[in-house]
Amino acid sequence: MTEARKKITLPYLFDKAARNEPITWLTCYDYPTAYLQEQAGIEMILVGDSLGMTMLGYDSTLPVTMEDMIRHSQAVRRGAPTAFIVGDMPYMSYQPSVESAIRNAGRFMAEASCDAIKLEGGAAMADRIKGIVDSGIPAIGHLGLTPQSVSALGGYKVQGKSAALAKKILDDAKALEKAGAFMILLEMVPDRLCKLITEQAENCLIMSLGSGPEAHGQLLIYHDMFGLYPRFRPKMAKVFGNAGEVILNGLKAYHDDVIGKQFPQPENWFGMKDEEFSDLQAMLNPPAAEAEEKPRKKSKKNKIVKEQE
């Protein structure tokens, strides 16, 4: 991107979908990556609770707290001032009640300047979506493989393969749209089901994560795109660059350079003028007579001289 981009807004997203141009969406959890995503022109960023796995090393997303989410969302906003940032509501931040859902959704907006929130679940969560939307907060639903319910779903696998389960997901999408969700993410549902839901959506954008091309846009997990998650790589993730390998090679080279005394080189350290160093030596080793006359006082204040060479 050359020119500074205008803030991505809800009308921008709907206009783009109306022109049949796919919306770009990625997960992101930190400042430097957010900065790069903004430079690359990515329109939407999901500060996903997947950070529990990708950034914090848990086995699932369940231990992630609101404090974790707020901290990471704030960092992402600092790196991506114009992206449409979505805060992902962590486990048990909205399930207990509509009131808890509104309060925690509000925290994403007030404390981290998010543009919207996302939560998992279908018709059973429609009242949470309605409460949040009625409070003036744009809300996104998430159907199909919903990681917070991975135990109930029987693992990380495609959802809605049978006609009956596909119908349930379609009904859930309708319930979320009716409740006011402006967007629904379909994760790992069959492409034809995603197409059907997209065609039937009236005032709601449908996004695909591993659910095929016939949606209003695509989401990917950043760590899967760049080989940065060591435990597994889901089939739906295309690797756009192996940053994990590049970083690993760099780390090995650093290790070898240090033990081989090849690092640091003069350009990697800072020097001191000869006269200053001589003065320092004189201070530390005064002539014997002077040392007797003037016992060294405890230093009062160190003068800090900043030098950039």
Site residues (vs ligand KIV, CB under 6 A)? 27, 46, 48-50, 88, 147, 185, 187, 209, 221
Nearest approach, Cβ of residue 67 and ligand KIV (Å): 16
Nearer to ligand KIV, 213 or 271 (CB): 213
DSSP state of 200: H
Helices (H), 41-149: 51-54, 66-79, 98-112, 126-134
Nearer to ligand KIV, 23 or 209 (CB): 209
Map residue 3 onto helix, strand or coil: coil
Give the C-alpha separation, 157 to 20, whole Å: 29
Region for 242 from its dihedrals, namely left if φ exceeds 0, alpha if ψ lies in -120 to 50, beta otherwise? beta
Nearest approach, Cβ of residue 215 and ligand KIV (Å): 13
DSSP state of 148: G
Nearer to ligand KIV, 234 or 286 (CB): 234
Nearer to ligand KIV, 153 or 286 (CB): 153
Map residue 302 onto helix, strand or coil: coil
Q: Token pair for residue 122?
A: 């279908």
Under 8 Å between Cβ of 96 and 126:
no
Nearer to ligand KIV, 46 or 184 (CB): 46
Nearest approach, Cβ of residue 229 and ligand KIV (Å): 11
- Active-site position among 38, 120, 177, 187: 187
Nearest approach, Cβ of residue 185 and ligand KIV (Å): 6
Q: Token pair for residue 35?
A: 């900065």
Q: Token pair for residue 41?
A: 């022109």
Map residue 252 onto helix, strand or coil: helix
Nearest approach, Cβ of residue 281 and ligand KIV (Å): 58
Of all residues in the shown chain, the one whose CB is closest to ligand KIV is 48
Nearest approach, Cβ of residue 249 and ligand KIV (Å): 27
Give the C-alpha separation, 137 to 152, whole Å: 29
Give the C-alpha separation, 228 to 237, whole Å: 12
DSSP state of 23: E
CA quadruple 150, 42, 208, 174: dihedral sign? positive
Map residue 42 onto helix, strand or coil: coil
Q: Is 290 an active-site residue? A: no
Nearer to ligand KIV, 152 or 304 (CB): 152
Instruction: Cite the active site residues.
Output: 187
